[in-house]
Structure 1
C-alpha cells in the first residue's frame, strides 16, 4: 500500500485532442481523472514511432557507431545506429535497414536484445535494442534528407562511457553478455 493507503490505478481518460500531427510528431492533450478523483489536464502525450537502437560490431571486433548533430540537446554526439520503425515494418527489419542506410554495413547476425519504453511517463513508443555482429561494409551510406552522419569505427572496450544518450547506453549494457 502507498503512503495514502491506495495502490496505483490507471487514470481514466475523459477526453483527448490532437495538438500536432505531421510527419515528425504526434502530440495529444488528454484530460484524465486519477483514482482519487483528481483531474489532470492537460496531460501531454507524444506518439512517436517505435525506435531501434543497434550496436554494430565489425568482423575485427570493433564497434561501428554514428556521430551526428542532435538538435534537441544542441550537441554532436556519438551513438548507436538508430531510427524509426516504419509502419508495418518489423523492428529487426528496421535495424537491418538502418545499419545499411546509416553506415553501409551488413551483419552476419542480428541479435534481439529486447525492448524498453522510450519514456513511459509521456511517450507511447518503445526502443527495440539489437546487436549486429560480423558486420562488413558493402555499400556507401544512403542517408535520409536532413541527415549528416559520420561513421566511427572504435574499440568496443570502454564504449559505454562514451555514449551520451540513455538508450544507447542501455543497448550497450544489454549487448555486453554477447560481446
Structure 2
C-alpha cells in the first residue's frame, strides 16, 4: 500500500529572518498512529538561471557559500522576492550577479530543493543570447567572480566536481535531458 499524507496536529513558527522561517510541526503517522515533531525551513521560491551567450558559452559565477565555507562554481540564482515573478527574479539575479541580460528566457521547470526539510520550489530558466550590459550590482553579502565556460565543458566540470551544487546540477540535467533532447 502506498504511503499516505500525514495529519498535521500543530504548527508553530520558531524564528525567522529575511530568507527563511523555521517552523516546527507535530504530525501523526497514518501507518503507526504515532506523532512526531518535524522541523521545516519555510522559504520563498528560488530561481536558477543558465545564461548562454550566442557563442555557446555559459556565464558562471564563483562565489563564497558560508554553509560549506567554500567558494563554489555555480550559475546565477537567488530568491524570488515578494514583488517578483519567478521569471522576473531570474532576470534580476542574472543582471545583479553578472551584469548580463538575456534576449530570451525559457522555463526549464521546477524542483523541490529538499522536500524532507524545506517547503519551497526552485525554478530553473535558460537565458539565451545573453550579453554584458553593465556592472554587477552585488549586495553586501555577495562576493562573486564572473567566468565564461564553453557549454561543452559543463559535463566535465560536473563529473570532476568543479560544479557540485545539487541545484545547479539539477538545472543542467533539465537543460541537457529535457531541453536539448527535445531539439530546441
TM, length-normalised to structure 2: 0.90
Instruction: Name which of 13, 38, 48 aligns with 2:34.
Output: 38
The 1-side partners of 2:167 and 2:141 are apart by 22
1:60-139 equivalences under 5 Å are 60-139=55-134
Q: What is the alpha-carbon distance in structure 2 between the residues aligned to residue 21 and residue 135 of structure 1? A: 36
Question: What is the CA distance between 1:158 and its match in structure 2?
Answer: 2.8
1:107-133 C-alpha deviation (Å, 9 max, x unpaired): 111110011111111111011011111
Structure 2: give runs of 5+ residues left out of the alignment. none
Aligned-CA RMSD value: 1.3
Q: Deviations over 1:63-120 (max 9, x none)?
A: 1011101111111100011000011411011001111111011111111001111111
- Distance in 1, matches of 2:55 and 2:40, equals 43
Does the CA-based 8 Å contact 2:19-2:44 persist in structure 1?
A: no
**What whole-Å deviation, never above 9, does each CA across 1:123-167 have from its counterpart, x for those lacking one?**
110110111110110100001121111001111113131321111
CA distance in 2, matches of 1:10, 1:60: 48
User: Does residue 169 in structure 1 map to residue 169 in structure 2?
Assistant: yes
Give the 4+ runs in structure 1 shifted more than 4 A.
Answer: none
Q: Distance in 1 between matches of 2:114 and 2:120?
A: 8
The aligned residue for residue 152 of structure 1 is 147
Structure 1 runs not aligned, ≥5 long: 2-6
Distance 1:115 1:166 in 2: 13
More helix by share: 2
1:49 aligns with: 44
